[in-house]
Structure 1
Amino acid sequence: MNKIWTNSGDSHFLEPEDLWQTRLPKKLADLTPRSEKDPDGEYETVYVDGQVFRRKLPTSAVMEKFVEASNRPQGSRDARVRLADLDQEGVWGEVIFPSLGMWCSSFRTPELLKACMRASNEWALDEIASVSDRYVVTAQVSTLVVEDAVEELRWAAERGFQAVFLPTTPHPSADDWNRDSWDPLWAAAEDAGMVVAFHIGTDPVDMSVGGASGGLGIVHHGPGGAVMNYAETTFSGQRVAMKLVASGALDRHPDLKVLISEGGATWVPFLGDRMVEGYRQHAMAVRPKLSRDPKEILFSQVYASFQHDVTAVAAYEHMGYRNVMFGSDYPHMEGTFGHTQDTLKTLFDGASDEARRRITQGAFFELFPNVPPVPSDIDR
């Protein structure tokens, strides 16, 4: 069968582990994330910006599978080889999130975070963005000081970045995303035409004694823990979308576009209905007042990517939500690498051509018009 060519609203690149250590002054490099595994491999100690915590590692069998899945595609570390992987899978353009940058919400020193973000952005320009205009590399900015974030976003926009990655929750020492203090960042992104891209599972690490949660995904223990923890990671994406709508941030910046990656899409119609009900039923307590219906704001400005969810297509076809976008999550084990075409053909079996085109290409090109179109003569 011919390929179903798609774009991807979610993928990752594995930077060199010593990227920050080699590019930062020693006093800052010594504060960047590192881990030390116990000799028996059961626990590891993680050091992040002067903070220390211990966590239990997955069983050896699970860890071996994870390492194998993460390292299998050579394109996860080589942007040139990566193109062959994409062509094989039938993926044209893709949003690329960092790996080291997933730690950014756990930093607490503004100078360190600012330096790490610039180092990552310079490296990404040289090693990924320069290779192909099919890559939408996400810029990284401070989540501690809004002025630093605005400065770095403008620097990135001037150099061709089309999106900026933000964690679903900033560090506890910073204001949350629904606070007006972040308004200069939303205004700068809107003015620059940069998409604000949140990736699920990027809440700050809990440094409390006894383990870690947040971005590391360890929230539930006991029977069902693995499934519950996996499902738990999606909720942070829903929360950040809710914060930006209910706080009026998106209402004040109607041209700002937001991407929630890897969290599915069917939650968007439900959340829209729930916020409308809350806005209506508790109108006397609602602050601020919005100029548009909360569901309208959510549907028009928030895009959501998914990989396997069969209900995501239904969200487009039957729930009126148009901003549904496929994401391969390359090269993570939750992703579709190695079976992308099988996944797409299953997802769109019986779906309309309109739904398939919108979900695989239309929504992506709407956000990132600078990515060249899929060639008409490519194998289909």
Structure 2
Amino acid sequence: MDTHASTFPLIISVDDHTVEPAGVWQDRLPARYQDTAPRVVRAPLKEMTFLGGRFRPVMGEPGDEGPLGDWWVYGDLRRPLTRLDTAVGVDRDEVRLEVITYEQMRPGSYDVPARLADMDVNHVQSALCFPTFPRFCGQTFTEARDRELALLCVRAYNDWMVEEWCG
């Protein structure tokens, strides 16, 4: 059976997205920043609104009602991982604005060997990957109050991207 795999050219994806592994900043920043660096916390979603093209999630406290999700916590920012961040492998009818955990997403969203396996299945040779938590061009960090930490976070992300994700 000819599947055209040998004659069909490999795809170069120009719009892929990564979900940063939970330890990207915790693993790469100096110890003095461990309490202020971006980190993942599992917490309930207290409230979610979507208005004017922006969603406004409210992270609950331990013991609060609501679906559990993994949240990026950095300064005043509380940003949940959502199904919209990583819809790959999910039926279109199931893609909603809801909080999720790392365990609820396809590992290829954040794990290099799993991503390479997914790329092979999809006949993808290479991909231009965009960030999730840092946002485009590191906006999460350019908007931060602590400029020194923000610069270290951008460098840590870039190092991770070059050394691990692309390496």
CA contact under 8 A between 1:43 and 1:54: conserved in structure 2?
A: no
Q: How many pairs does the alignment contain?
A: 124
SS of equivalent residue, structure 1 residue 2: coil
Alignment partner, residue 74 of structure 2: 48
CA distance in 2, matches of 1:115, 1:78: 23
1:2 to 1, 4, 8: 4
1:62-86 Cα offsets, whole Å, 9 max, x none, are 437x6589622x3323323322211
Q: Does 1:95 align with 2:134?
A: no
Given the superposition, is the C-alpha separation of residues 33 and 122 from structure 1 closer, same or farther in structure 2, using an over 3 Å criterion? closer
CA contact under 8 A between 1:15 and 1:100: conserved in structure 2?
A: yes
Alignment partner, residue 81 of structure 1: 114
Q: Which has the larger radius of gyration?
A: 1
SS of equivalent residue, structure 1 residue 101: coil
2:105 to 71, 74, 87: 71
Q: Which amino acid aligns with 1:107?
A: A
Shift of residue 47 of structure 1? 4.3
Shift of residue 88 of structure 1? 1.2
Shift of residue 95 of structure 1? 0.7
Q: Which amino acid aligns with 2:4?
A: N
1:120-164 Cα offsets, whole Å, 9 max, x none, are 22222221222xxxxxxxxxxxxxxxxxxxxxxxxxxxxxxxxxx
Given the superposition, is the C-alpha separation of residues 80 and 33 from structure 1 closer, same or farther in structure 2, using an over 3 Å criterion? closer
Greater helix percent: which structure? 1
CA distance in 1, matches of 2:79, 2:153: 23
Shift of residue 16 of structure 1? 2.4
Alignment partner, residue 33 of structure 2: 28
- TM-score, normalised via structure 2 length: 0.54
% of aligned pairs identical?
Answer: 29
Given the superposition, is the C-alpha separation of residues 6 and 47 from structure 1 closer, same or farther in structure 2, using an over 3 Å criterion? closer
CA contact under 8 A between 1:48 and 1:106: conserved in structure 2?
A: no
CA contact under 8 A between 2:25 and 2:38: conserved in structure 1?
A: no
CA distance in 2, matches of 1:15, 1:105: 18
User: What pairs up with 1:295-306 in 2 under 5 angstroms?
Assistant: none
CA distance in 1, matches of 2:114, 2:68: 34
Q: Could you list the structure 1 runs, at least 4 aligned residues long, displaced by more than 4 angstroms after superposition.
A: 42-47, 52-55, 66-70
Given the superposition, is the C-alpha separation of residues 24 and 76 from structure 1 closer, same or farther in structure 2, using an over 3 Å criterion? same
Q: Which amino acid aligns with 1:40?
A: E
Question: Aligned-residue CA RMSD in angstroms?
Answer: 3.7
CA distance in 2, matches of 1:28, 1:108: 14
Mind listing any 5+ residue stretches in structure 1 that lack a counterpart? 131-380
CA distance in 1, matches of 2:18, 2:114: 12
CA distance in 1, matches of 2:117, 2:77: 40
Mind listing any 5+ residue stretches in structure 2 that lack a counterpart? 45-59, 84-93
CA contact under 8 A between 2:14 and 2:128: conserved in structure 1?
A: yes
Given the superposition, is the C-alpha separation of residues 6 and 79 from structure 1 closer, same or farther in structure 2, using an over 3 Å criterion? same
Q: Which amino acid aligns with 1:20?
A: W
Given the superposition, is the C-alpha separation of residues 48 and 106 from structure 1 closer, same or farther in structure 2, using an over 3 Å criterion? farther
Q: Does 1:11 align with 2:16?
A: yes
CA distance in 1, matches of 2:113, 2:12: 18
1:13-72 Cα offsets, whole Å, 9 max, x none, are 3332122123223443322334543331269887432x25699x99xx8437x6589622
- Which has the bigger relative contact order, CA under 8 A and spacing at least 6? 2
